[in-house]
Amino acid sequence: MDFIIGGLAGASATIFTNPMDVVKTRLQLQGELRARHEHSAKYRGIFHTLYVIAKNDGATALQKGLAPAMLLGFCMNSVRLGIYHIAEVQGWTKKKDGDISIHKAMFWSSASGVMSGIAANPASVVKTRMQAAAHPSIAVGRQHVYNGMIDGFFKIYKVEGIQGFFAGVNATCARLAIGSAAQLTTFSTAKETLLSYGLCERSPLGLAFSASCMSGIMVALAICPIDVVAVRLYNQGPASKGGLMYNGVFDCLRKIYKKEGLHGLYKGIGPLYLRIAPHTTLSLVIWDMLNILFNNKIR
């Protein structure tokens, strides 16, 4: 049940945050391996990107990749939040005196993040490629044409084999280990801190909301560079499409920094935050509320 609760929380939050994920993906693929003066920007900021996508591909394009995004949200969060909740219940994240142990919380949140990344990577690849697909006038990055999520899975398997589903998996695991450590550790610590000051004692919803807002800021700051790398690796496709641009995580980091500078590693930081902050808030609040509801029913 811990895994189902976590999965439902993640999938539910995805419905609201997917448009920002589409915007983030386009901005992170724009000007790939080119300096800022070497290309004209098709997307200039969050609101301009929303407008351009809606104008050229229709408003529904803002929900591109929603099906694999929800599958991703379910798979990732069912594993990540499920494992972490078990660790919390078993007391593996606490000291002998019962207080939260930062080191133990970071270990279990990172470990759960890595496991969730492996489980959800196939959905991440399909989601990213579907979100990147656009009208030729606004297309960025390599374009992959899939007629829905199932067709995407089928075509990737046919052309790239099983390994195609695990493109960028190292970046995914690194991103989720860092992101989960920042998110869940901050969430648990923030809740404990708020309660120690007598805040939100009678409002579980308010406590979860406040703690998750703090958590979202830390996640966005921590994972942006590795998130850019993951998106690039997901989208590059097989070597048969013109050669591999990147040979792994470190090669991707090096090339982006060399060609695009520090700016390249922080492309899409705005929509990344606007996606992560509400997604973090929604998923953790839903997760907390479902756990409270389920535990009350058991009692």
pLDDT of 121: 95
pLDDT of 208: 77
Domain segments of the chain: what residues? 2-298
Q: What angle do CA 22, 279, 286 make, to 5 degrees?
A: 145
Mean pLDDT of 151-166: 96
Single-letter amino acid code for the residue at 16: F
pLDDT of 75: 86
Which one-letter DSSP state was computed for residue 166? G
- pLDDT of 265 strictly over 90: yes
- pLDDT of 258 strictly over 80: yes
For residue 285, give every residue at least 6 positions away whose Cβ sits within 8 Å of its Cβ, in sequence order, or none: 205, 208, 209, 212
pLDDT band at 132 (very low <50, low <70, confident <90, very high): very high
Nearest Cα residue to 84 out of 55, 101, 106: 106
The domain defined by 2-298 folds into: Mitochondrial carrier fold (1.50.40)
Backbone CA torsion sign across 232, 238, 240, 245: positive
Residue 53 near residue 26 (C-beta atoms within 8 A): yes
Higher pLDDT, 285 or 57: 57
Q: Report CA Rg, the chain.
A: 19
Under the phi-then-psi rule, with left for phi > 0, alpha for psi from -120 to 50, and beta for the rest, what region is 78?
alpha
Distance CA 192, CA 287 (A): 17
Most confident of 40-44, 103-107, 203-207, 291-295: 40-44
- pLDDT of 285 strictly over 80: no
pLDDT band at 241 (very low <50, low <70, confident <90, very high): low
Higher pLDDT, 127 or 239: 127
Under the phi-then-psi rule, with left for phi > 0, alpha for psi from -120 to 50, and beta for the rest, what region is 168?
left
Distance CA 177, CA 186 (A): 14
Higher pLDDT, 104 or 55: 55
Mean pLDDT of 46-53: 96
- pLDDT of 119 strictly over 60: yes
Average model confidence (pLDDT) across the chain: 87
- pLDDT of 23 strictly over 80: yes
Distance CA 176, CA 182 (A): 9
- How distant, in Å, are the alpha carbons of 32, 69, 207, 268 from that of 258? 12, 31, 43, 18
pLDDT of 31: 94
Q: Does the predicted model carry a pTM greater than 0.75?
A: yes
Single-letter amino acid code for the residue at 11: A
Q: With helix as H, strand as E and coil as C, how does 146-164 read? A: CCCHHHHHHHHHHHHCHHH
- Count other Cβ atoms within 10 Å, centred on residue 215: 25
Residue 195 near residue 187 (C-beta atoms within 8 A): no
